[in-house]
């Protein structure tokens, strides 16, 4: 802990200390954010029971992806101490709020419903918390409740125990069966949630004792106190709900957390009654908080517009007119964005505002270094492509293969994901926020058309099969494959509704899926999924053989998985991330490691038939690359490049080069685009190559 630093994390203050670990508020300089850093105590590192408990906690949290479960950012070991990093919860704990006696029925109902849904999600995954208590329910800055500390959670399929007695938990909130060391299921957590509700409503726990054994005895034998005698102002039906949820026999309790929460809410008075403590509809807070290191597409939260006085609106219009006149006198983007340093830590940049004006095909400005080769025009049709669709400044553009005739297709200034041409190569499909759109690239004034929108925190992928008949949707960290029917998709708004549509072929939940790509024959899928790599949370690519004829009758066959088992890319042990990858649809993959600017790194080529991978770095062997993709015929590759050798002077360039000349030490020229066409050096640039019309 010297110099208040652990691993790369800068310690700010101690948040709490438990029997097995200490929690700190820390700063992560790599992603410039506050985090909660939990470190196993040094004197326990040699104890196999405690070490197993800590390792179990990190692995279980990594498997749970829910809007009301505290997300984990990093896992590792440093200086012979194990640690993991979670989102920092700035709103304190439920224990603190109960102590202040500041909770209304409205707030209690909101907390109960949210935590109950998270428990049901974990139970469906086979995970039991086993230590649910007010101290393990934390709040963010928007007062949303989250469950934390799954350190003593138990995978129900695993029969082994961590201690000789197998009894782990906090006696005040422990179910009778857990206190007696019996086998427990999700109803034990529901019991604990009932104890927490009792405490929120009354300010005290239902049972009090001076010893853990005495407390366990009361839970097992004593009747549930009548809460109306403690707080007579509560609705009459609350006591019956609490007696059921706190029943000694699990079979007499509510079957799920949601059933319990809804039963409690039904006891509350009509929301329209103008009493001060009644349940009223709550405006949902924005829940999406992206962790840059683990995100396949950027956060889509857009600042809410501010209402301005009329005078300032008029003044702003005058300024816009003046700036527009200046803009037309120049070419290319105006930008205040700064380039990066060669450090593996991303830099902070200022993003230039989006413009709705189509960009000119050429630009004047700062010239490139004389040592670089002059750009050579790329003829249409080379590599089987005629035009490039790409993202820049968080919008979609279309240009010729040599960078000429640039045309802007969208004007939302919102990050995109899964940019792709639909069959026929006339319409582009892409994801934006929680919706999917298509836009006709051949019209003069293209207007994006919304296809479908999905609720939930994680909607990260939407890929159409080459024949246009199927779609692979990555949602809530699962992969759902079903027919591409826009009318049916428009009626579904969640993963649950998608999996209940007709003719669903695959609902793949074996791993936490972050995205997918189809093979050329439409019979295979390459998914990228989140898992533990070494001692850190990382990403792996898995290739699946999907039977689209027999579909759900057969599980997909795993054909390959890399990197890690096959080879270890440079820096993968430190940052086991795959910021971008591309498949030629047959046996070759391009992907880059994580090194700088939120996702640029070394470029690798992986060959499935030989199960071998190698670093290729085609631009003079230098780093760094992102977004590399194959041409339609697989003979060329297109990628974004930032020359790490130039440090702060590095800018984003595009290259389209023949793949068979990479090993010949050829000198390649970049595609000419307007100066500062990519003002944000951390932007995830997407590519989609258009094939000639058939």
3-class DSSP state of 528:
strand
Top-tier CATH class for 92-266: mainly alpha
Question: In this predicted structure, what is the pLDDT of residue 377?
Answer: 57
CB atoms within 10 A of CB 549: 9
Question: In this predicted structure, what is the pLDDT of residue 372?
Answer: 52
* pLDDT tens, residue by residue, 658-672: 999 998 878 999 999
Total residues found in the chain within this entry: 694
405-690 domain in CATH 2.120.10.30?
yes
Question: In this predicted structure, what is the pLDDT of residue 630?
Answer: 98
Is the distance from CB of 540 to CB of 564 less than 8 angstroms? yes
The closest alpha carbon to 672, from 403, 279, 388, belongs to 403
Q: Where in the chain is the domain with CATH 3.30.200.20?
A: 5-87
The residue with tokens 């039963």 is 263
pTM, two decimals, is: 0.53
CA atoms within 13 A on the CB side of 368: 19
Report residues of the chain scoring pLDDT below 70.
1-3, 19, 44-45, 50-51, 53-55, 57-59, 61-62, 151-168, 270-380, 552, 694
Instruction: Please give the DSSP secondary-structure letter assigned to residue 367.
Output: P
Q: How far apart are CA 98 and CA 134, in angstroms?
A: 8
Q: Where in the chain is the domain with CATH 2.120.10.30?
A: 405-690
Task: Indicate the CATH number for domain 5-87.
Answer: 3.30.200.20
3-class DSSP state of 638:
strand
- The four Cα atoms 653, 594, 287, 100 give a dihedral, to 10 degrees, of -130
Give catalytic residue positions. Answer: 131
Is the distance from CB of 137 to CB of 93 less than 8 angstroms? yes
- The four Cα atoms 171, 174, 177, 178 give a dihedral, to 10 degrees, of -70
Question: In this predicted structure, what is the pLDDT of residue 83?
Answer: 85
3-class DSSP state of 203:
coil
* pLDDT tens, residue by residue, 478-502: 999 999 999 999 999 988 899 889 8
Q: How far apart are CA 603 and CA 591, in angstroms?
A: 6
Question: In this predicted structure, what is the pLDDT of residue 170?
Answer: 86
Q: Where in the chain is the domain with CATH 1.10.510.10?
A: 92-266
């Amino acid at each position: 802990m010297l110099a208040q630093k652990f691993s790369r994390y800068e310690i700010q203050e101690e948040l709490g200390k438990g029997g097995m670990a200490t929690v700190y508020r820390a700063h992560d300089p790599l992603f410039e954010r506050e985090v909660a850093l939990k470190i196993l105590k040094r004197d326990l590192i040699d104890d196999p029971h405690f070490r197993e408990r800590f390792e179990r906690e990190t692995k279980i949290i990594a498997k749970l992806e829910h809007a009301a479960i505290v997300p984990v950012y990093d896992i590792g070991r440093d200086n012979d101490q194990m640690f993991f990093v979670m989102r920092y919860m700035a709103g304190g704990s439920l224990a603190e709020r109960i102590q202040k006696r500041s909770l209304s029925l409205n707030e209690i109902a909101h907390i109960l419903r949210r935590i109950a849904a998270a428990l049901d999600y974990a139970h469906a995954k086979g995970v039991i918390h086993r230590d649910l208590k007010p101290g393990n329910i934390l709040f963010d800055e928007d007062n949303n409740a989250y469950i934390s500390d799954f350190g003593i959670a138990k995978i129900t399929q695993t029969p082994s125990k961590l201690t000789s007695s197998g009894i782990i938990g906090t006696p005040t909130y422990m179910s009778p069966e857990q206190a007696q060391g019996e086998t427990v299921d999700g109803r034990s957590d529901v019991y604990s949630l009932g104890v927490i509700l009792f405490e929120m409503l009354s300010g005290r726990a239902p049972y009090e004792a001076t010893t853990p054994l005495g407390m366990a005895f009361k839970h097992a034998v004593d009747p549930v106190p009548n809460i109306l005698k403690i707080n007579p102002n509560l609705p009459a039906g609350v006591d019956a709900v609490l007696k059921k949820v706190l029943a000694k026999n699990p079979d007499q309790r509510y079957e799920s957390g949601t059933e319990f929460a809804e039963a409690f809410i039904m006891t509350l008075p009509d929301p329209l009654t103008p009493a001060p403590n009644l349940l009223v509809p709550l405006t949902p807070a924005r829940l999406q908080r992206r962790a840059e290191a683990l995100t396949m597409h950027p956060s889509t939260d857009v600042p809410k517009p501010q209402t301005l006085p009329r005078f300032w609106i008029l003044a702003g219009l005058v300024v816009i007119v003046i700036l527009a006149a200046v803009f037309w006198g120049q070419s290319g983007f105006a930008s205040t964005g700064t380039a990066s340093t060669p450090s593996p830590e991303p830099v902070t940049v200022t993003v230039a505002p989006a413009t709705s004006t189509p960009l000119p095909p050429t630009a004047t400005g700062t010239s490139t270094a004389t040592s670089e080769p002059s750009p050579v025009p790329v003829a249409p049709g080379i590599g089987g492509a005629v035009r490039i669709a790409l993202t820049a400044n968080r919008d979609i553009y279309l240009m010729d293969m040599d960078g000429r005739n640039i045309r802007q297709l969208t004007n939302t200034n919102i990050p995109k994901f899964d940019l792709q041409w639909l069959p026929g190569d006339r319409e582009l499909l892409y994801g934006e926020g929680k919706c999917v759109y298509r836009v006709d690239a051949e019209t003069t004034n293209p207007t994006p058309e919304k296809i479908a929108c999905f609720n939930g925190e994680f909607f990260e992928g939407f890929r159409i099969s080459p024949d246009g008949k199927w779609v692979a949707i990555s949602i809530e960290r699962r992969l759902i494959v079903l027919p591409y029917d826009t009318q049916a998709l428009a009626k579904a708004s969640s993963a649950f509704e998608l999996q209940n549509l007709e003719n669903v072929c695959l609902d793949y939940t074996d791993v936490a899926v972050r995205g997918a790509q189809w093979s050329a024959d439409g019979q295979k899928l390459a998914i990228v999924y989140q898992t533990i790599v070494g001692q850190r949370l990382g990403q792996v690519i898995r290739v699946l053989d999907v039977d689209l004829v027999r579909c759900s009758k057969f599980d997909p066959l795993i054909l390959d998985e890399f990197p890690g088992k096959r080879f270890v890319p440079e820096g993968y042990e430190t940052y086991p991330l795959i910021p971008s990858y591309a498949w030629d649809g047959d046996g070759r993959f391009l992907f880059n490691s994580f090194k700088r600017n939120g996702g640029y790194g070394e470029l690798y080529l992986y060959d499935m038939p030989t199960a071998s991978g190698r670093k290729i770095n085609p631009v003079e062997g230098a780093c760094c690359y992102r977004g590399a993709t194959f041409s339609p015929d697989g003979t060329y590759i297109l990628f974004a490049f930032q020359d790490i050798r130039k440090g702060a002077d590095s800018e984003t360039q595009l290259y389209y080069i023949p793949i068979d000349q990479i090993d010949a030490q050829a000198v390649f020229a970049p595609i000419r685009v307007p100066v500062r066409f990519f003002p944000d050096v951390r932007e995830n640039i997407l590519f989609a190559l258009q094939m000639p019309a058939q």
